[in-house]
């Protein structure tokens, strides 16, 4: 089963990359990668950043690190 999962991830990454999307794969803590990427984009671009998730850890990490000048939002819900 792990081999199928790895193959799916590799195929998705290849497809997304071919569409011009930036791809980041987390080795360990995906929550930290999601939040640090959102913070980086929110701090450097003049466009809103929306993080979509159901994990309260994401929300807590974002609140702890966000600054008042960041246009950062979280879409949070059980049925995402």
Q: What pLDDT is attached to residue 27?
A: 84
Q: What pLDDT is attached to residue 78?
A: 66
Would you give per-residue pLDDT tens digits along the chain (80 residues)?
Answer: 788 988 999 999 999 999 998 888 888 888 999 999 999 988 888 788 999 888 889 999 999 998 888 888 999 876 65
Domain regions of the chain by residue span:
2-76
Q: What pLDDT is attached to residue 53?
A: 87
Query: pTM here?
Result: 0.72
58: nearest Cα among 80, 26, 36, 25: 36
Q: What pLDDT is attached to residue 60?
A: 92
């Amino acid at each position: 089963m792990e081999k199928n999962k790895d193959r799916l991830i590799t195929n998705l990454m290849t497809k997304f990359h071919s569409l011009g999307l930036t791809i980041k794969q987390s080795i360990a803590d995906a929550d930290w990668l999601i939040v640090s990427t959102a913070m980086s984009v929110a701090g450097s671009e003049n466009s809103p950043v929306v993080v979509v998730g159901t994990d309260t850890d994401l929300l807590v990490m974002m609140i702890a690190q966000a600054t008042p000048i960041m246009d950062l939002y979280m879409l949070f819900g059980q049925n995402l």
